[in-house]
Structure 1
Amino acid sequence: MHASQARMWRVYVFLWRTQGLEGTEYQLSREYTLDVYRMASVVTEHDAKKAGAEVVKQVKNPLLSGLLYPGLQALDEEYLKGVDAQFGGEDQRKIFTLAEKYLPNLGYKKRIHLMNPMVPGLTGGKMSASEPDSKIDLLDSPGDVKRKIKKAFCEPGNVQENGILAFAKHVLFPVLDGTEFVIERSKKHGGNVRYTTFTELEESYAKEEIYPLDLKNAVARELSKLLEPIHAKFSADSEMQMIRDRAYPDEVVKKGGGKKGAGGGGAGPDRPVDISRLDLRVGVVISAEKVWHYSGTSEQRTLRAQRFCPL
Structure 2
Amino acid sequence: MEQMLQRMQYYKFIIVAPLKAISIPSSRVRFVQESSYVLKPEFTVDQWKLCTLIPLKDAWDRSYNPDMLSPMPCPGLQTLAEQHLRIDFQFGGADQCGIFEFAERFLPQLGYKKRAHLMNPMLPNLVGGKMSSSHPPDTKIMFLDDPEAVTSKICAANKTWKNSSMNSVLSSLRDILILISELRLRRLREKGTDYTQAISVANYRRAFYREDAPVGTVFTIEVGGEYLLYKSYEEVEHDLTENKLPPQTLSIAVATTFNQLL
Question: What range describes the TM-score normalised by the shorter chain of this pair?
Answer: 0.7 to 0.9
Number of the residue aligned with 1:186? 224
SS of the residue corresponding to residue 182 of structure 1 reads strand
Per-residue Cα deviation, 1:165-207 (whole angstroms, up to 9, x for no partner): 00001100101114431222215xxx43221101111222233
Give the Cα–Cα distance (whole angstroms) in 2 for the partners of residues 158 and 101 of structure 1.
Answer: 35
> Per the alignment, do residues 122 and 64 of structure 1 end up closer, same or farther by CA in structure 2, a change over 3 Å counting?
same
Q: CA deviation at 1:4?
A: 1.2
> Per the alignment, do residues 45 and 203 of structure 1 end up closer, same or farther by CA in structure 2, a change over 3 Å counting?
farther
Per-residue Cα deviation, 1:145-179 (whole angstroms, up to 9, x for no partner): 11111121113444342110000011001011144
Q: CA deviation at 1:210?
A: 2.4
> Per the alignment, do residues 141 and 179 of structure 1 end up closer, same or farther by CA in structure 2, a change over 3 Å counting?
farther
Give the Cα–Cα distance (whole angstroms) in 2 for the partners of residues 46 and 205 of structure 1.
Answer: 46
Number of the residue aligned with 2:94? 90
Aligned residues: 217
Listed as ranges, the matches of 1:150-299 within 5 Å are 150-177=155-182, 178-186=216-224, 191-227=226-262
> Per the alignment, do residues 94 and 156 of structure 1 end up closer, same or farther by CA in structure 2, a change over 3 Å counting?
closer
Per-residue Cα deviation, 1:269-302 (whole angstroms, up to 9, x for no partner): xxxxxxxxxxxxxxxxxxxxxxxxxxxxxxxxxx
- Equivalent residue for 1:143, pick from 148, 156, 159: 148
Give the Cα–Cα distance (whole angstroms) in 2 for the partners of residues 164 and 110 of structure 1.
Answer: 37
Number of the residue aligned with 1:43? 54
- Equivalent residue for 1:33, pick from 23, 44, 64: 44
SS of the residue corresponding to residue 44 of structure 2 reads helix
Give the Cα–Cα distance (whole angstroms) in 2 for the partners of residues 14 and 109 of structure 1.
Answer: 31
Per-residue Cα deviation, 1:17-45 (whole angstroms, up to 9, x for no partner): 32210111122222222222211110112
Unaligned stretches of 5+ residues in structure 1: 228-311
The one-letter amino acid of 1:182's match is: T
SS of the residue corresponding to residue 39 of structure 1 reads helix
Number of the residue aligned with 1:4? 15
Q: CA deviation at 1:62?
A: 4.5
CA contact (8 A) 1:120 1:127 kept: yes
Number of the residue aligned with 1:269? none
Q: CA deviation at 1:48?
A: 2.7
CA contact (8 A) 1:168 1:219 kept: yes
Give the Cα–Cα distance (whole angstroms) in 2 for the partners of residues 156 and 115 of structure 1.
Answer: 25
Per-residue Cα deviation, 1:71-93 (whole angstroms, up to 9, x for no partner): 1111111122x311100001111
Unaligned stretches of 5+ residues in structure 2: 1-11, 183-215
SS of the residue corresponding to residue 164 of structure 2 reads coil
Q: TM-score, normalised by structure 1?
A: 0.65
Give the Cα–Cα distance (whole angstroms) in 1 for the partners of residues 164 and 31 of structure 2.
Answer: 38
Number of the residue aligned with 2:120? 116
Give the Cα–Cα distance (whole angstroms) in 2 for the partners of residues 192 and 198 of structure 1.
Answer: 16
- Equivalent residue for 2:137, pick from 132, 135, 146: 132
- Indicate the RMSD between aligned Cα atoms, in angstroms: 1.9
CA contact (8 A) 1:156 1:211 kept: no
Give the Cα–Cα distance (whole angstroms) in 1 for the partners of residues 244 and 224 of structure 2.
Answer: 14
CA contact (8 A) 1:159 1:202 kept: no
- What percent of counterpart residues are identical? 37
CA contact (8 A) 1:149 1:164 kept: yes
SS of the residue corresponding to residue 71 of structure 1 reads helix
SS of the residue corresponding to residue 141 of structure 2 reads coil
Per-residue Cα deviation, 1:202-259 (whole angstroms, up to 9, x for no partner): 22223343222111101001111122xxxxxxxxxxxxxxxxxxxxxxxxxxxxxxxx
